[in-house]
Amino acid sequence: MSYILRFTHVTKQINLSGIQLIMHVNNVKRKEDGFIFNKLTSVYFFQTKWRGHLSRQPPSTFVVQGQDEWGVTYTSTEICALKGSTVDISCTYRYPSKNAVITVKETFWLIKASNDVHVDLRTDPEYSGRVQYICGNNNCTLRITDLRESDSAEYKFRFITDLSTGKYTGSPGVTLYVTDLQVQVSRLLVYKSDNWADLKCHSSCRLPDHLQYVWYNNGQNTSRGTSSFSVSVYPTDSYSCAVEGYENSRSKPLLELGQDGWGVTYTSTQICALKGSTVDISCTYRHPSSIDDRYITVEEIFWSTRVSNNLYVDIKTDSGYSGRVQYICGNNNCTLRITDLRESDSAEYKFRFITNQTRGKYTGLPGVTLSVTDPQLQIHVRRSTVNQYSNWTELTCHNTCQLSDHHSYIWYKDGQKVEGKKYFHLNPMNPADNYSCAVSGYEHFRSPSVYGPRVSSVSVIPSGEIMEGSSVNLTCSSDAIPAANYTWYKKNQIPLNKQPQFVFRFIQSSDSGEYYCTAENELGKRTSEYISINVTYAPRVPSVSVSPSGEIVEGSSVNLTCSSDANPAATYNWYKEDEDSPKASGQIFTITDIRPEHSGNYYCEAQNRRGRHNSTLYLTIVAVSPVVWKLAVIGTALGVFLVIIWLSVFLLLRKKRTSKRSSEPGERPEDRCLANQEEEQDDLHYASVHFSNNQADPVYANIRPAGPRRHKEEEEEVVEYAAVKFNRAITDPRTGGPETDADPSALYSTVNRTV
């Protein structure tokens, strides 16, 4: 088994005993068995020449990479797998562990990296649901299921530690080839009675010998066995094959068994190439090995674009291709190579071969259409938001027709060259930047620029006043390539609409508020300014109320209040039934010194330029009974009178205490008693309270539905007398007992109501 190693200087010792090595040291190649490397630090490439298997790598192959104790070791550098199968790509990684504690924060596999963006395969939509990481103990395996031919790429492992500079990518990585099976005719024998073919299930991968294959004819399972299959064939037969266990990944059917086994298969039927470049057009061809036991040999092969005198013209003899055409043929394969392409080379190219049989001539029709143009580039933008930790935007440079992979690309950011890969990743993403690309050697044929949304603008139709019930159209616009996606929002609310236009077919007052939109594409996002929507409408039915809400005493004040929802704000007028002129303007109508004649229907009218509405209330004034009024007045008078009496008694007692303190020490008790009597006689008062019949009776106000009123007026002549008599027990200073005669002093109060 042969291995190739390229390295710089040495730091560690590795014994690769028993393995034949090809060494490149200072540009000198050496072969050794059991060679000992001392102090190995930087082995950049290690590759086995082993090829192909279904999904697992041979355990004997390995790759060593590393520098300064950082490194990634892959189990194999090349893996070939079948379309539809599952593949495991494994590695181990290491980092310094001495003198510091280093923690690995993130591990992932990638196939794309540019502009310091490393795209985790798990975030690539192309691999969604097909990728699994199996990692632990410094080992990590990438498992890809349901392989596609587009999965062919170089896979690299990357790990990131908690050190600011602790990031490492194992490069070069592992190259994965995903291929499909093909049915090939290794021999075809043609007889008068039937045809016999030797078929082979072929893969560009070297598959293990022990595999079992399933053969199909016209979609039906016909045989199980090895990769080779011999069968009697007919022009209508269509054979395909699959590896057992991978029946869903069968080969394309071989249809070219017609015409007794003659045929041409082109690698591609449509090819696009740039002016001045080189193109390869390839095919395989078939013919019977023998016809009636006569072996067939090919005598002439060539490519042609035109017919002259019923004969195909070999393009090697065409002066237009002089010095620019080469045939590379062998083993029933033939490739046409054209250099320094011109637009005039655009044509349909057909392969033709001629055998030793009289009628053994065959042309592959239809042929291959070649289009030679200047670059016509477009940028495809792809954005991944699979998870919040790894969002990225990828730009890919595409020609309108598919170019071969050998072309390199140049990227421009705001007109300045930035990188030379077919793809470009944005980090960070700035909507103000614009990007374009070109094919190397064709820099004057740049693609149109792509950029994020410019400032978003909003407009409203109609632009004037908006009436309730009308149709209103909000429009959001922004200059962006690719075209932006729009979303409408009401302030502090969830998204309303994901279209450039937001239409209110019958706008309501509740739709009033501030609105804004966002314009977003894969390259950025912009938010517009707020736009205010003010919906005008006529006043709603007014609400009316009376304050105070209980009984209203005649002579007091009452407030009638009116309110209505309206935009613009309403003006208010108060009317009394059967009166044309308003009683008052404004929301509140105050009636002071209310009288019975104020009873009746009142209505409030709310009005703005959009319309008017009114509401009615019935106000009833009810008089209170005179008896109640009189009792209230009497009670009040008595209360006042009692206060006066209390004050008089208080003053009398105070006066007595003052006189006692000021009397002489030799004064006789009889003299003090007589003095007190004189003072008491001086306190005699007469009070009369007179109530005029002219005093207004109390009234009561009630609100009730409009209806007939009935008033009952009553006048009663009532005379009430109230007498208050004060009997004081006077003690005889000589005997200490009460006097026999009552004090003639008395206070009378007469309440008289004059009719």
Same domain, 63 and 118: yes
268-292 mean pLDDT = 89
Does 114 map to a domain?
A: yes
Return the HEC string of 486-515.
Answer: EEEEECCCCEEECCCEEEECCCCHHHCEEE
d(CA 426, CA 589): 70
Asked if 197 contacts 191 with a C-beta cutoff of 8 angstroms, the reply is: no
Q: What are 85's two structure tokens?
A: 């199968």
Instruction: Name the 3-class secondary structure at 415.
Output: coil
Domain boundary among 321, 339, 373: 373
Are residues 434 and 388 located together in one domain of the fold?
A: yes
State residue 382's pLDDT score.
86
**Same domain for 637 and 739?**
yes
Average pLDDT of the chain, as a whole number: 78
What's the confidence (pLDDT) of residue 616?
A: 92
pLDDT class of 35 with cuts at 50, 70, 90? very low
Res 288: pLDDT? 84
Residue 484: per-residue pLDDT: 94
Same domain, 209 and 328: no
56 in a structural domain = yes
Q: Kindly state whether residue 251 falls inside one of the protein's structural domains.
A: yes
Residue 672 lies in a domain: no
Asked, as a colleague might, if the bond just before 172 is cis with ω within 30 of 0, I would say: yes
Task: In whole angstroms, give the CA distance from residue 436 to residue 379.
Answer: 7
The per-residue pLDDT for 49 is 32
The rounded Cα 471 to chain-centroid distance in angstroms is 29
- pLDDT tens profile 552-568: 778 888 999 999 999 99
Tell me the per-residue pLDDT of 56-73, one tens digit each, with 9 for 90 and over.
344 434 444 455 689 999
Please tell me the chain's helix, strand, coil percentages from 3-state DSSP, rounded to the nearest 5: 10, 45, 45
389-413 per-residue burial string, b: 16 or more CB within 10 A, e: under 16: ebebbbbbbebeeebeeebebbbbb
- The reported pTM is 0.59
pLDDT of residue 387: 59
Q: Are residues 466 and 527 in the same domain?
A: yes
Give residue 706's pLDDT: 40
Q: What is the pLDDT of residue 633?
A: 64
Q: What is the pLDDT of residue 156?
A: 97
In which band, very low, low, confident or very high, does the pLDDT at 427 lie, cut at 50, 70 and 90?
Answer: confident
The reported pLDDT for the residue numbered 52 is 37
| 408 lies in the same domain as 482 | no
pLDDT digit string, tens, across residues 472-508: 999 999 999 999 999 999 998 889 999 999 999 999 9
Residue 634: alpha-carbon gap to chain centroid: 82
Phi first, then psi, for residue 618 (nearest 5°) are -110, 125
Q: 730 and 740 in contact (C-beta within 8 Å)? A: no
Residue 669 counted as domain residue: no
Which ranges constitute the DSSP H helices of 133-273? 258-261
Task: Mark which of 259, 284, 309 sits at the end of a domain.
Answer: 259
pLDDT the model gives residue 624: 59
Q: Are residues 143 and 157 in the same domain?
A: yes
Q: How far apart are CA 751 and CA 755, in angstroms?
A: 13
Q: How far apart are CA 232 and CA 652, in angstroms?
A: 151
Q: How many CB atoms lie within 10 A of CB 676?
A: 17
pLDDT tens by residue, 212-253:
999 999 889 999 999 998 888 877 788 999 999 888 888 888
Q: How far apart are CA 512 and CA 533, in angstroms?
A: 5
Domain check: are 447 and 517 in the same one?
no
Determine the average pLDDT of the residues in 510-517.
Answer: 94
Q: 51 lies in which domain range? A: 42-178
Position 659 scores a pLDDT of 66
Say which CATH number the domain at 613 has.
2.60.40.10
In a domain, 33, yes or no: no
Strands 213-217 and 239-243 turn out to be antiparallel
Query: Helices 669-682 and 626-662: crossing angle, nearest 10°?
Result: 150
Q: Is the confidence at residue 20, as pLDDT, over 50?
A: no
Q: First CA to last CA across the chain, in angstroms?
A: 143
Query: In terms of domains, do 369 and 388 share one?
Result: no
Domain membership of residue 252 (yes or no) is: yes
- At 654, which helix (H) or strand (E)? helix 626-662
No. of H helices and E strands in the chain? 3, 62
The 10s digit of each residue's pLDDT in 612-666 is 999 998 888 766 556 555 666 677 788 888 888 988 888 888 887 776 655 555 4
Q: Please give the structure tokens belonging to residue 343.
A: 């637009």
- The confidence score (pLDDT) of residue 629 equals 54
The pLDDT of residue 406: 73
- C-beta neighbour count of 584 within 10 angstroms: 18
Residues 366 and 382 in one domain: no
Beta-bridge partners for 142: 89, 133
Domains held by the chain: number: 7
Residue 147 has pLDDT above 90, yes or no: yes
56 plus 125 within the same structural domain: yes
Give the long-range contacts of residues 462-465, CB within 8 A, separation 24 or more: 465/534, 465/536
Let me know whether 185 and 168 are in one domain: no
19 falls within a domain? no
* Average pLDDT estimate for 260-276: 87
Which one of 227, 259, 291 terminates a domain?
259
d(CA 37, CA 284): 47
More confidently predicted of 404 and 687: 404
